[in-house]
Amino acid sequence: MVVTAPSAGAAGAPAPAAPAVRRPRGRTGLLAAGLLVAGAALVLAAGLSIAVGARGVPLAAVWTALVAPDGSFEATVVASRVPRTLLGLLVGAALAVSGALIQGLTRNPLGDPGLLGVNAGAAASIVVLTAVAGAGVGRTPWAAVPGALLAAVVVQLVGSGGARAGRGGAGPVRLVLAGAAVSAVLGAVIQAVSLADPTVFDAYRAWVLGSLAGRDPAVVGQVLPFVAAGLVLALALARPLDALALGDEAATALGLRPGTTRVLGLVAATLLVAGAVAAAGPIGFVGLAVPHVVRGFTGPDHRWLLPYCALLGPVLVLAADVVGRVVARPGELVVGAVTAFVGAPFLVAAVRRGRVAA
């Protein structure tokens, strides 16, 4: 007698669980070791950010300033670099993880936080609030949240247009097109408001370059809740994002709701981008380059991709900040300029490689 298992569609029978993807033990061990290396690189980058600056400070004086500050000039210089380093850690992690989220949501490996209009929404919100309430209010993370969230919601609504008519939900192509349209509209709003008020224009011009220098140390505490909440939500979405990569129909068959995953993913990306953009301005290419490079090592598994991005994103931002301090002594190059120099050739190479693969 042959006993057959009940089919998935049988009445009263529970749906079969999605098969777990098991990596070979050697591969898992390699990825875990890679995380340790990434953590070591992060510690090294943070140490260089504290030790290296436009003004040279001996390493012995740096160590003394950290463990036993004596109020000397060198100790004051080193102490001023600590909040800048902490801010670079938060901004780098936020931008890299938000880029990985958006690439997963749109199934586009060349996506970044600006793709869905979140960057433009945060910038527009800051500019408008600066014009209305002054620069003190406009530069807080809370000022970036309304615009970033509104842009994400509008993109989601526009991208899902026609879903009720039976033409499917907010697919990646619709989201990208909606993000481009929203970004264009918000860009016009930013230009109109900033050009109409010289005070707003000066504040916007200093902020739009993207820099970690000259930030109030209190900004670190203001940004931390946004970044922490966004990172926790992003890590919780690792498995749903893996299922979403198979397509909406496959994700639905596995018992997931693609629409809910996209909404939660946009919320996480909004929190991350709002905190990063409000604190340091729009720093480009971090959200594009880091996930793209990491994916070449980890593969598409977001359970590994997101932690790697959280570690290596700050490495890129801090390294770019250190390079900006060194190459233009006694002045500095802003982080946004350094990442642009690095990111533009990378984008060209990535696009060319994508064409060859296609």
pLDDT the model gives residue 133:
80
Instruction: Judge whether residue 148 has pLDDT over 70.
Output: yes
pLDDT, mean of residues 279-308: 89
pLDDT the model gives residue 211:
85
* Helix-helix angle 141-159:172-196, to 10 degrees: 140
Lowest model confidence (mean pLDDT) among 153-162, 239-248, 324-333: 153-162
Q: pLDDT band at residue 163, thresholds of 50, 70 and 90?
A: very low
Task: Write down the pTM of the prediction.
Answer: 0.82
Q: Mean pLDDT: which of 192-201, 220-229, 246-255 is highest?
A: 220-229
Long-range contacts of 60-63 (CB under 8 A, 24+ apart): none
Instruction: Judge whether residue 11 has pLDDT over 50.
Output: no
CATH code for the structural domain at 91-353 = 1.10.3470.10
pLDDT the model gives residue 350:
64
pLDDT the model gives residue 10:
42
The domains of the chain are located at 91-353
Within a 13 Å sphere around the CA of 274, how many CA atoms are in the beta-carbon half? 31
Q: Kindly report, residue by residue over 22-47, the tens digit of the pLDDT.
A: 555 668 889 999 999 999 999 999 99
pLDDT the model gives residue 23:
56
pLDDT the model gives residue 71:
73
From residue 88, alpha-carbon distances to 213, 225, 250 in Å are 10, 15, 38
The Cβ of residue 113 has, within 10 Å, a number of other Cβ atoms equal to 32
Query: 143 is written with which tokens?
Result: 């000022």
Instruction: Judge whether residue 217 has pLDDT over 50.
Output: yes
Question: Which one is predicted more confidently, 60 or 26?
Answer: 60
What is the greatest pairwise CA distance in the chain? 88
pLDDT the model gives residue 166:
39
Instruction: Judge whether residue 131 has pLDDT over 60.
Output: yes
Lowest model confidence (mean pLDDT) among 146-160, 190-204, 228-242: 146-160
